[in-house]
Amino acid sequence: MQFHLYYLFFSDLTPFKHKEYSLHKNALLKSCPHFLNLNSPYKTGTHTSSCWMYAFAKIPLGIDLELSSRTVPFWKKLSDRFFHSEEKKWAKTQEKFLLLWTRKEAVGKLLGTGLSFPLSSLNTAQEKIKNFPLSNNKEIHLASFIFEEKFFFSLAYFFYDVIGISDISIDVYKPFLNTNFFSYNDLLQENFLWKQQNTLLSIKSATAWPTSWPKLF
């Protein structure tokens, strides 16, 4: 299964500010070649304080992104309250907490519920989630990646007989910009060029992944 992933850093939109994100979102989205592609009818998005990301695919999906160095006050209390007992075994550091949180967010977006369900009932410390009440008996698959060496990125999708986690192919696109000439009018006119590049590193094979971190992903 092929996913098409588009991202940009807000710094690329200088002098635009993050607070103007909502003004740019629709224009940015329309600039993505797969936005109106009938072969990629499903779309989902996420953003942090510095990065915008959207994904397109032929099947439902959910994605989430977090800065790995983000400071989360009271993350231990959040873990105790919202994490499944199996997740708590892994969430011993703030970084592990953030990684697992992106997986929960991704599943919530896949289901279309957000985080409105009892979060402690969902165990994302596994690649495959079976028999989750809100999934309509569909098996949920999860994959997580190190993105641009500083983000945790997680992807959730329903498993179908013709698809396996080993079949995932992710095409990554970054805007081709010359910020000296790029203007908001370019954005509104959808004069926005993307270039393909693959910068995702699977956590399973990441040599920089600390040996003390979970091997499940």
Q: How confident is the model at residue 152 (pLDDT cuts 50, 70, 90)?
A: confident
Range 111-116, long-range pairs (CB < 8 A, 24+ positions): 111/62, 111/135
DSSP at 10:
G
pLDDT at 174 over 60: yes
Q: Identify the domain containing residue 155 by its residue range.
A: 2-205
Q: Is residue 213 part of a domain?
A: no
Ordered alpha helix ranges (H), 112-201? 184-188
More confident residue, 117 or 172: 117
Q: What are phi and psi of 140, to 5 degrees?
A: -100, 130
Q: Is the pLDDT of residue 63 over 70?
A: yes
Domain-located, residue 116: yes
Structure-token pair, residue 130:
């079976």
Establish if 139 belongs to a structural domain.
yes
Is 211 inside a domain boundary? Answer: no
Residue 210: inside a domain: no
Return the structure tokens found at 92: 């011993």
Q: What is the mean pLDDT of residues 51-68?
A: 89
Residue at 125 is within a domain: yes
Report the pLDDT averaged over residues 41-69.
Answer: 88
Largest CA distance in the chain: 52
Q: How far apart are CA 100 and CA 79, in angstroms?
A: 10
Residue 214 lies in a domain: no
36-40, 102-106, 137-141: least confidently modelled range? 36-40
Give a yes or no: residue 81 inside a domain.
yes
pTM of this structure: 0.81
Q: What is the tally of structural domains in the chain?
A: 1
pLDDT (tens digit, 9 = 90+) per residue, 12-32?
A: 555 555 556 666 677 778 778
pLDDT digits (tens, 9 = 90+) for 79-88: 999 999 999 9
Q: Which residue has the tokens 């989205």?
A: 29
pLDDT of residue 133 exceeding 70, the answer is yes
Bigger pLDDT: 3 or 187?
A: 3
